[in-house]
Amino acid sequence: MDRKAQNILEYHPLQPNSGFRILVLEPSLDFASTIKGELLHADLADHPPFEALSYVWGQSSETRPLEVGGRTFNATVNLERALRYLRLPNTSRHLWVDAICIHQTDDAEKSNHIGYMSEIYRRCTTDLLWVGEQHEIIDNAVVAMEYYGNLLRLDETLRNYYTDENYGTEKAKEEKKLENYLQCLFADLAVWKRVWIVQEIAFAPSVLLVAGHSMLLWEKVEDFLDADAYVEQYGIPDAFHGPFSHDISVRSWANGAIAYPQIMSHQRRVVRDSGQGDGSSLLDVLARFRYTDSTDPRDKIYGLLGLVSEKLDIEIDYSRSVNDVYMDCMKRLIEHSQNLDLLCQTPWELYGNKDRSTDLPSWAIDFANPGNSTILFAQRSIFNAGGDKLDLPIAISDGILKLSGVCLGSLTSVPKDGEDQGCPPYPPGAQAALQWMPDTLIHEAMRNGNSTLSKFLKNKSLADGSAPPPCLPDNSKTDKKSSRLSSSLEHFRSKFLKDKPPADASTPEPEPKANETSSSFSSSFECFWRTIMMDISRYPMSRLTRDELDELAPRFMEWINTPFDKDRDIDLDFFVQSQMCEWYKWQFAISDKGTYCMVPTGAEVGDCITVLRGAKVPMILRPIITGERPVADDFDGKFMLVGPCYVHGFMDGQAFERDSSVPEREYELL
């Protein structure tokens, strides 16, 4: 055997479910001398006092040798530096260091050991959070924290930074430097993004930040973040709310600068209050720490299981592939929730995620590459398109997920915003609304007297006598009976698809006079503006009430009837933009049945609009085909998941009402 191989550190088996190793770091007066130590076997029930080390592994391709038990252990550069600074001059130091104390190449030991790692951290005296060898990282941040006192004081400074009396002053420049100090500690360090550090900080009795020979108590960090005050006011953020989602004033800066320590502080609070970390569901924990990193993609799940008591019978098994681990987790989460929230309002980006693994089916979350999700709604009961019935257990075979649902048709028009139509620089949201608005609506508004809308026509050759746009079904819960699927689709088919009048329309509506709005236009236009609002008011987010609709209607009508000239009050456009629901994240579209929708920006003409059982909002599915696209209703092949959508008139279970004329069918998602 090669002499070098013989000298590599050997491991002796641990007692399953309770055994662990402690690194006894030998002292040295010489900072530059070789790092030496021994491995001591211990048990959860019987162990000497020890500290735990939290750190970022770093690149495994570049290592430095340590001497452990007279054998060589090749440590990453960052680990070697941490141990060199932590080594004491005169006494040994007992440390638990995952890279050394766990046999990393033994999958069986890793799978068992990780199941009780949280218990190891509960038993350490202190968790040493290594942030680097530059002591200025901590020293400067301490100066900044002492200056501001807490996050609220920092918020006040940020608000005043660009005011006339502060901008460019010496005080402003000094405060900007202090901001950068905080960012160096809380935002720029990879240590905050390592998935294993989450439970290490959460469970350790005390935490000490270490940079070189400088140290900072975790309590000082929490005092600055004022995490307890935030939690008292807003509660612990869940899967659908970020760490500052309720506090808009500081969100833009804080999300990029201190979000990671803030959510770790929240999790530590959960563990402290619950005793066993069972205050969070697995979904909440996975979502809360979705932007953390791990060397092994499976650890994005395994590394967080210790934070929840209900692990959904997920077994840590490193012999399974990443895809198997991710799909199994998805299945268990969906069945546990008994709904499709994980698909229709997922915090992870599915379609359009450039970093997402191409080996995963479209419905499966890539937990290692979260992307940037666009959640249609955070409140979990605001819509109920697919009801609360999900056939269990869900069927998954060869990566194909089978679900039951109803087809509402396919997209036939997806007008793109941002096209140059010679429009003046109105507020971008209001301009997007005009660029999205169907020509039939624009032309009807022109017939009512606002000829300046002609610049927004997509089809400039549309004749003045064009038929009015369809009167789409109402989406209000208060008028639910009038918007049943059967009557709605019959209305569309008879009036708009076949150009036949509805049965009760024997007498045509008289032509409106100049500057007079027809009732058909008012109704159809209301469907449009309610669609771009997604039928909700904000904040807090809630469904539009009848009183709110009555109040909004004349404002929107004034907006569309006022000429676009130099005398126009631009506040009308700002009003419309303020009412639109995240217009910069969604795209207006029309189906072949005439329904108005708000769809993901990646949606295309021909995509299928479906309401799946157990999904609170409709979903856009794309037929997986070769050649010409089929009619969505008749396609019996497999589909790819594109994302959630809003479909006006079908957000409250109308698709599954008893008298629905549209049959339910099975969808196979690949």
Distance between CA atoms of residues 239 and 280, nearest Å: 10
Q: What are 379-382's contacts with CB under 8 Å, separation 24+?
A: 379/540, 379/541, 379/542, 380/240, 380/341, 380/345, 380/616, 381/616, 382/536, 382/541, 382/542, 382/543, 382/616
Q: Is the dihedral of CA 421, 422, 423, 425 positive or negative?
A: positive
Q: What is the mean pLDDT of residues 90-95?
A: 98
Residues 6+ positions from 197 with CB-CB distance below 8 Å: 54, 129, 191, 264, 292
Q: How many Å apart are CA 554 and CA 559, to the nearest integer?
A: 9
CA distance 490 to 158: 56
Query: Given the DSSP bridges, would you call strands 63-68 and 36-43 parallel, antiparallel or unpaired?
Result: parallel
pTM assigned to the model? 0.82
Average pLDDT over residues 504-512: 36
**Which of 342-356, 417-431, 542-556 has maximum average pLDDT?**
542-556
Give the SS3 label for residue 25: strand
User: Helix 428-436 vs helix 571-579: angle between axes, to the nearest 10 degrees?
Assistant: 80
Q: Tell me the mean pLDDT in the region 520-544.
A: 90
Report the half-sphere exposure of 253 (CA within 13 A, side-chain side): 16
Per-residue pLDDT at 548 exceeds 90? yes
> What pLDDT does residue 415 have?
82
Q: Answer yes or no: is pLDDT of 43 > 50.
A: yes
Q: How confident is the model at residue 658 (pLDDT cuts 50, 70, 90)?
A: low
- From first CA to last CA, the distance across the chain in angstroms is 49
Beta bridge partner(s), residue 586:
600
Place of tokens 């299945």: 331
Q: What is the mean pLDDT of the chain?
A: 83
Question: What is the pLDDT at residue 566?
Answer: 87
Q: Is the pLDDT of residue 506 over 70?
A: no
pLDDT value at 470 more than 90 = no
pLDDT greater than 90 at residue 605: yes
Cis peptide before 393 (omega within 30 of 0): yes
Taking the C-alpha atoms of residue 134 and residue 214, their distance in angstroms, rounded to an integer, is: 9
* Torsion (CA) 361, 364, 370, 373 in degrees, nearest 10: 100
Question: What's the CA gap between 362 and 102, in Å, rounded?
Answer: 35
3-state secondary structure at position 349: coil
d(CA 438, CA 441): 5
pLDDT of 505 strictly over 80: no
pLDDT, position 161: 66
pLDDT in tens, 302-339: 999 988 878 899 999 999 999 999 999 999 999 999 99
User: E-strand spans in 501-607?
Assistant: 536-537, 542-543, 586-591, 596-600
- Report the pLDDT value the prediction gives residue 378, as an integer from 0 to 100: 55
Q: What values do phi and psi take at 341, rounded to 5?
A: -55, -35
Query: What confidence tier does 389 reach under pLDDT thresholds 50, 70, 90?
Result: confident
Question: What confidence tens digit (pLDDT) does each residue in 187-209 have?
Answer: 888 898 899 999 999 999 999 99
pLDDT at 398: 93
* 216: Cα separation from own chain's centroid: 31
- pLDDT at residue 251 in the model: 45
Closest alpha carbon to 289 in 273, 311, 323, 266: 266
Residue 499 has pLDDT above 50, yes or no: no
Strand ranges, E, within 355-460: 395-397, 400-413
More confident residue, 476 or 454: 454
User: Does position 601 have pLDDT exceeding 60, yes or no?
Assistant: yes
Q: What is the pLDDT of residues 167-188, one digit of tens each?
A: 778 888 888 899 889 989 988 8
- Going through 541-627 in order, the beta strands assigned E by DSSP cover 542-543, 586-591, 596-600, 608-612, 619-623
DSSP string, 87-115: --SSS-EEEE-HHHHS-TT-HHHHHHHHT
DSSP state for residue 497 in the 8-state scheme: I
Average pLDDT over residues 243-262: 58
Length of the chain: 670
- pLDDT band of 158, cuts 50, 70, 90: confident
pLDDT of residue 482 exceeding 70, the answer is: no
